Amino acid sequence: MDDKATVVELNHESRLQSEDHQSIRLWLRLLTCTNMIEQRLRARLRQEFATTLPRFDFMAQLDRSPDGLTMGELSQRMMVSGGNVSGIANQLSGEGLIDRTQVPDNRRTLCVTLTDKGRKRFADMAAAHERWVVEMLGDLSPADHRQIMMHLTQLKRGVTALET
Amino acid sequence: MDDKATVVELNHESRLQSEDHQSIRLWLRLLTCTNMIEQRLRARLRQEFATTLPRFDFMAQLDRSPDGLTMGELSQRMMVSGGNVSGIANQLSGEGLIDRTQVPDNRRTLCVTLTDKGRKRFADMAAAHERWVVEMLGDLSPADHRQIMMHLTQLKRGVTALET
DNA sequence: GTCCAACATTTTAAATTTAAAGTATCAAAG
DNA sequence: CTTTGATACTTTAAATTTAAAATGTTGGAC
């Protein structure tokens, strides 16, 4: 439907109108970058470790917290719904990668930890994952990194500040 | 599970280890920002227009291309699988918001356009959507906008450059 | 002690999403 | 003309995801 005299990348930003607000441009650029990286990571995790991004994320959060996390904490940190976390936990538990134990002083709460097997499994994936991310973002100089981080901090602060 | 002497935001970045590579930090920051914005937009589209982000995205791409887009083009631009686009197209077509017409010189190809109803419906949503995005990102000065865009351009270029 | 609202989690149903297989069409080679 | 491989799209099955309802638990208020 489009004449292409020049090669054009097609992605979220293709929907931009000339009169669109600068903020819309920034948002679509952000979305495009994130989606591009996410898709690559997803594909590689599937190809090389037969796992998914949310499962990896789940284990990464636990690896970071050796004392364990509750289901609610996992839900917050992974930024997904509670039901979602329940489902992933069932899988990982079934594969012996995590333990769920009752917390003595609150019978509503579960404490989730990586098993030894889970910790080992994650270590392999984490090393590869880091290589992939560095490969994708490593072009940027340390100074650029700092600058983008600063800007995204500001952006994040602005969004967080809004109520609801 | 965590003592919180200070208020800590919980999100993807919570999984960061002290020794993690700068690129991982940047990636998780990017993911957190995108998810935060995406969740807010998703919730508002549902509350105020009883629709979803992918449906909005679909219509936005079409609004941008008055001559229509093929299913394949939509798939590329929305950065989702072809089957996904088929499903959304069925919905929107059922609601009379889009038309799918055969292209005369290629019977495999469908050309998708917004109906008048679809165009009107989208105009309302787009106005609100722009307000929301500006509300979230508007804190940044025009100079900041330019800088972040520049950096994300570079980041995008780096990721695109990788094969596969 | 008894309610009652809040909380932590799971379950449910519906929608979304994906990868892969399937269908139909095309274009080009022989 | 026929075959072949590529293309455009849809269908399928499985997994993911979400919002909302359901379950069980807690900690006051009274």
**B67, B91 contact by CB (below 8 A):** no
Q: Do A136 and B39 touch (CB under 8 A)?
A: no
What digits encode the pLDDT tens for the residues A86-116? 999 999 999 999 999 998 889 999 999 999 9
- Label residue A4 by pLDDT band (50, 70, 90): very low
Q: What are phi and psi of B110, to 5 degrees?
A: -110, 140
Closest-lying nucleotide for B81 based on CA to C1':
C18
Q: What is the Cα–Cα distance from B86 to B68, expressed in whole angstroms?
A: 15
- Degrees (nearest 5) of the Cα angle B118, B40, B112? 25
**B23, A134 contact by CB (below 8 A):** yes
Chain B residues close to A142, C-beta within 8 Å: 22
Each of the 164 residues of chain B gets a pLDDT tens digit; together they read 444 345 567 778 767 665 568 899 899 999 999 999 999 999 999 999 999 999 999 999 999 999 999 999 999 999 999 999 999 999 999 999 999 999 988 999 999 999 999 999 999 999 999 999 999 998 888 898 898 999 999 888 888 888 66
Q: Does A27 touch chain B (CB under 8 A)?
A: yes
Of A65, A130, A160, the CB nearest to B24: A130
Report the protein residue whose CA lies nearest the C1' of nucleotide D20.
A83
Separation of B40 CA and D4 C1' (Å): 50
* Distance in Å, alpha carbon of A129 to nearest chain B alpha carbon: 9
Q: What does the pLDDT read at residue A49?
A: 92
Domain ranges of chain B: 21-161
Q: What is the Cα–Cα distance from A76 to B161, expressed in whole angstroms?
A: 34
Residue with tokens 């690559």: A40
Q: Does B12 touch chain A (CB under 8 A)?
A: yes
Q: What is the Cα–Cα distance from B82 to B88, expressed in whole angstroms?
A: 10
B21-161: CATH, from 1.20.120.1730, 3.30.9.10, 1.10.10.10, 1.10.1740.10: 1.10.10.10
Chain B residues close to A135, C-beta within 8 Å: 162
- Quote the tokens at residue A51: 């796992």
Mark which residues 87-106 of A lie under 8 Å from B by CB.
none
Q: How many CB atoms lie within 10 A of CB A156?
A: 18
Of A68, A135, A160, the CB nearest to B1: A68
Q: Do A70 and B1 touch (CB under 8 A)?
A: yes
Q: Does A154 touch chain B (CB under 8 A)?
A: yes
Q: Does A131 touch chain B (CB under 8 A)?
A: no
Chain A residues close to B56, C-beta within 8 Å: none
Q: What does the pLDDT read at residue B142?
A: 87
What digits encode the pLDDT tens for the residues B10-29? 778 767 665 568 899 899 99
Separation of A74 CA and C9 C1' (Å): 12
Separation of A27 CA and D12 C1' (Å): 34
Separation of A108 CA and D24 C1' (Å): 7
Q: What are phi and psi of A51, to 5 degrees?
A: -135, 180
- Quote the tokens at residue B55: 């449906």
Which CATH number describes the domain made up of A20-161? 1.10.10.10
Residue with tokens 């919730």: B43
Report the protein residue whose CA lies nearest the C1' of nucleotide C25.
B108
Of A73, A134, A139, the CB nearest to B10: A73
Of A15, A153, A158, the CB nearest to B60: A15
DSSP single-letter state for residue B124: H
Residue with tokens 């299913």: B71
